[in-house]
């Protein structure tokens, strides 16, 4: 009879250790499960995923129940161990001490470390089936957990500590989303990953970063000579053409070239009818984020906007194509006024126009010029020198040696940039 009782005690002890391992593994798996994978399973109608999401919605009750269950099991395991030691060795203090140390080691290895490692490695496989057992246990332990939880909240309130108990409503930040895309490099083609990263960056890039500067805008002067107007319209390289009166800053409308052929068939160009077919200009603040501007283009059914500063002065223009190229890369044909900005030399350097966009240089030439200040190469050089440089001046910016080749009208027209090795950048 004593032997059967002893065997039963060992069986009970083993069962308690297994149950303790279940609670330890469940806790780790619930905290480690991928929330986005979980949401995907919920959308497919997975019942266990719904249970896990419901449990994570009240994480304080979930953790309270797991800790209560685990604590009770460990206490019972210690009590059973004491009984077994008493049966085997009698009232022996040394045996009791060694038995307690042995139980502690067994609990640590087999009921804590090992199940937690397994659960952290396979959180989905552990959490989904565990949710079926945890759901009724939470209901069973609710009275005790509610009392303990109320005491904890009271202490936290006294300490002025705010807590968020619903883990299922946590939002992902832009940086976390960017990290998620970077971590997916083994599942996405490089080109697709780059497009997703560009899409994420649209929120922090403004129209001022991608606009066509005012001095590069191909525009039509409504007060120009008739023959000059006709020639410019015929040779225009764009579908949409800004129209101004006398000065470039006085934009009076946008001309859609497809509406002009009927006017050009007449002997004289009717300026009154030309004004009538102009679309109203659409003005955009220069600090508008690209993502917001993309939405506004969609809502307005527009493809071109004039960029102005806080004083209403014209800075440039931005098109739908400019924004799309920030996502998928360049795909439109440039006009002669915008081409020929990059000329590679035999020594590996580049001859660049001062009006070149820094973002464009970084994207096309693989450079790493700073983007947190000026938007063009000319602006970057002037900002660095705090003066108008003379031809032949040399300097280094972000580790790139730069030589001024030509200046005109107080701006850098052409500069030579020497690509630097990563270990040479400062």
Q: How many CB atoms lie within 10 A of CB 111?
A: 25
Tokens 């203090």, located at residue: 93
Tell whether the model's pLDDT for residue 134 goes beyond 50.
Answer: yes
pLDDT at position 248 is 83
Report whether 94 contacts 171 (CB < 8 A).
no
C-alpha pair distances (Å), 71 with each of 23, 30, 75, 88, 114: 10, 18, 6, 26, 18
Kindly state whether residue 173 falls inside one of the protein's structural domains: no
Kindly state whether residue 69 falls inside one of the protein's structural domains: yes
- Do both 31 and 123 map to the same domain? yes
Q: What is the mean pLDDT of residues 216-233?
A: 84
The number of residues making up the chain comes to: 426
Virtual CA dihedral for 120, 123, 129, 130, nearest 10 degrees?
40
Q: What is the mean pLDDT of residues 279-292?
A: 90
Q: Which residue, of 328, 356, 390, is where some domain finishes?
A: 328
Tell whether the model's pLDDT for residue 425 goes beyond 60.
Answer: no
pLDDT at position 221 is 87
Q: What is the pLDDT of residues 367-414, one digit of tens each?
A: 888 888 888 888 899 988 888 888 888 898 888 899 999 888 888 889
| CA dihedral over 94, 73, 154, 167, signed as positive or negative | positive
Kindly state whether residue 190 falls inside one of the protein's structural domains: no
Average pLDDT value over all residues in the chain: 82
Q: How far apart are CA 286 and CA 213, in angstroms?
A: 12
Tell whether the model's pLDDT for residue 155 goes beyond 70.
Answer: yes
- Do both 316 and 359 map to the same domain? no
Q: How far apart are CA 197 and CA 300, in angstroms?
A: 26
Q: How far apart are CA 15 and CA 8, in angstroms?
A: 10
Tell whether the model's pLDDT for residue 153 goes beyond 70.
Answer: yes
Phi/psi at 351 (5° precision)? -90, 120
pLDDT at position 340 is 47
The CATH number of residue 381's host domain is 3.30.465.10
- Do both 37 and 139 map to the same domain? yes
Kindly state whether residue 195 falls inside one of the protein's structural domains: no
Q: What is the mean pLDDT of residues 13-28?
A: 90
Tell whether the model's pLDDT for residue 169 goes beyond 80.
Answer: no
- Do both 15 and 130 map to the same domain? yes
Q: What is the mean pLDDT of residues 189-212?
A: 81
- Do both 299 and 405 map to the same domain? no
pLDDT at position 151 is 83
Tell whether the model's pLDDT for residue 361 goes beyond 60.
Answer: yes
Tokens 């993502």, located at residue: 291
**Token reading at 56:** 């994570």
pLDDT at position 341 is 63
Q: What is the mean pLDDT of residues 176-185?
A: 72
pLDDT at position 117 is 92
Written in H, E and C, the secondary structure of 13-67 is HHHHHHHHHHHHHHHHHHHHCCHHHHHHHHHCCCHHHHHHHHHHHCHHHHHHHHH
Q: What is the mean pLDDT of residues 118-128?
A: 89
Kindly state whether residue 177 falls inside one of the protein's structural domains: no
pLDDT at position 163 is 66
Kindly state whether residue 46 falls inside one of the protein's structural domains: yes
Q: What is the mean pLDDT of residues 90-106?
A: 84
pLDDT at position 45 is 84
Phi/psi at 367 (5° precision)? -85, 170
- Do both 67 and 94 map to the same domain? yes
In a 3-state reduction of DSSP, which class is residue 2? helix
Report whether 105 contacts 17 (CB < 8 A).
no
pLDDT at position 338 is 47
Q: What is the pLDDT of residues 287-330, one digit of tens each?
A: 898 889 999 999 998 899 999 988 888 988 999 988 888 888 76
Q: Measure the CA angle with vertex 301, ends 296 and 303; round to 5°.
A: 80
- Strand order, beta sheet including 220-221: 220-221, 240-244, 251-256
pLDDT at position 114 is 92
- Do both 320 and 347 map to the same domain? no
Q: Which residue, of 118, 140, 167, is where some domain finishes?
A: 167
List CB contacts of 45: < 8 A, sequence separation 6 or more: none
Q: Per the structure, how many domains does the chain have?
A: 3
Q: Which residue, of 167, 187, 212, is where some domain finishes?
A: 167
Q: What is the mean pLDDT of residues 82-88?
A: 83
- Do both 59 and 104 map to the same domain? yes
Report whether 290 contacts 210 (CB < 8 A).
yes
- Do both 320 and 351 map to the same domain? no
pLDDT at position 306 is 93
The CATH number of residue 276's host domain is 3.10.580.10
Q: Outline where DSSP puts E strands in 152-221.
A: 212-213, 220-221
Q: How far apart are CA 149 and CA 133, in angstroms?
A: 21
- Do both 22 and 146 map to the same domain? yes
Run of H or E residues at 6 = helix 2-32
pLDDT at position 165 is 53
Which parts of 286-357 fold into alpha helices (H)?
290-300, 320-328
Q: How far apart are CA 33 and CA 303, in angstroms?
A: 44
Tokens 């660095």, located at residue: 384
* Backbone dihedral region for residue 392 (phi beyond 0: left; psi -120 to 50: alpha; all else: beta): left
Q: Outline where DSSP puts E strands in 93-166.
A: none
Q: Measure the CA angle with vertex 187, ends 185 and 190; round to 5°.
A: 50
The fraction of the chain above a pLDDT of 90, given in percent, is: 8
| CA dihedral over 33, 38, 41, 45, signed as positive or negative | positive
| CA dihedral over 311, 316, 321, 322, signed as positive or negative | negative
Q: pLDDT: is 70 or 163 the higher one?
A: 70
Tell whether the model's pLDDT for residue 112 goes beyond 80.
Answer: yes
Q: How far apart are CA 22 and CA 64, in angstroms?
A: 15
- Do both 248 and 353 map to the same domain? no
Kindly state whether residue 223 falls inside one of the protein's structural domains: yes
Tell whether the model's pLDDT for residue 259 goes beyond 70.
Answer: yes
Kindly state whether residue 187 falls inside one of the protein's structural domains: no
Question: Residue 401 sits in which domain range?
Answer: 342-424
- Do both 297 and 349 map to the same domain? no
């Amino acid at each position: 009879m004593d032997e059967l009782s002893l065997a039963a005690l060992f069986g009970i002890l083993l069962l308690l250790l297994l149950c303790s391992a279940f609670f330890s593994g469940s806790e780790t798996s619930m905290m480690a499960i991928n929330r986005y994978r979980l949401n995907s399973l919920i959308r497919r109608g997975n019942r266990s995923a719904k249970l896990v999401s419901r449990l994570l919605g009240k994480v304080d009750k979930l953790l309270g129940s797991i800790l209560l269950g685990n604590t009770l099991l460990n206490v019972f395991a210690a009590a059973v161990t004491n009984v077994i030691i008493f049966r085997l060795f009698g009232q022996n203090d040394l045996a009791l001490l060694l038995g307690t140390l042995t139980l502690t080691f067994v609990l640590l290895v087999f009921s804590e470390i090992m199940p937690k490692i397994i659960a952290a490695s396979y959180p989905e496989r552990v959490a989904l089936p565990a949710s079926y057992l945890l759901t009724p246990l939470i209901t069973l332990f609710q009275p005790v957990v509610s009392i303990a939880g109320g005491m904890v909240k009271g202490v936290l309130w006294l300490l002025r500590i705010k807590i968020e108990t619903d883990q299922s409503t946590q939002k992902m930040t832009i940086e976390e989303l960017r990290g998620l895309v970077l971590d997916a490099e083994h599942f996405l083609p490089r080109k697709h990953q780059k497009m997703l990263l560009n899409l994420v960056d649209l929120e922090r890039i403004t129209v001022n970063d991608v606009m066509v500067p005012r001095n590069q805008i191909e525009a039509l002067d409504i007060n120009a000579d008739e023959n000059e107007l006709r020639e410019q319209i015929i040779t225009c390289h764009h579908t949409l053409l800004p129209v101004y009166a006398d000065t470039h800053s006085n934009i009076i409308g946008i001309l859609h070239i497809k509406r002009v052929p009927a006017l050009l068939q007449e002997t004289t160009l009717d300026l009154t009818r030309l004004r009538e077919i102009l679309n109203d200009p659409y003005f955009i603040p220069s600090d508008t984020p690209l993502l917001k501007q993309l939405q506004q283009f969609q809502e307005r059914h527009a493809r071109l906007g004039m960029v102005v500063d806080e004083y209403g002065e014209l800075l440039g223009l931005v098109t739908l194509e400019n924004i799309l190229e920030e996502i998928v890369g360049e795909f439109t044909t440039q006009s002669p006024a915008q081409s020929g900005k990059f000329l590679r030399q035999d020594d590996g350097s580049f001859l660049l126009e001062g009006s070149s966009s820094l973002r464009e240089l970084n994207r096309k030439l693989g450079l790493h010029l700073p983007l947190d200040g000026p938007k063009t190469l000319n602006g970057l050089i002037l900002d660095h020198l705090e003066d108008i440089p003379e031809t032949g001046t040399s300097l280094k910016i972000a580790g790139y040696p730069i030589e001024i080749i030509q200046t005109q009208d107080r701006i850098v027209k052409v500069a030579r940039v020497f690509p630097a090795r990563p270990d040479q950048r400062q």
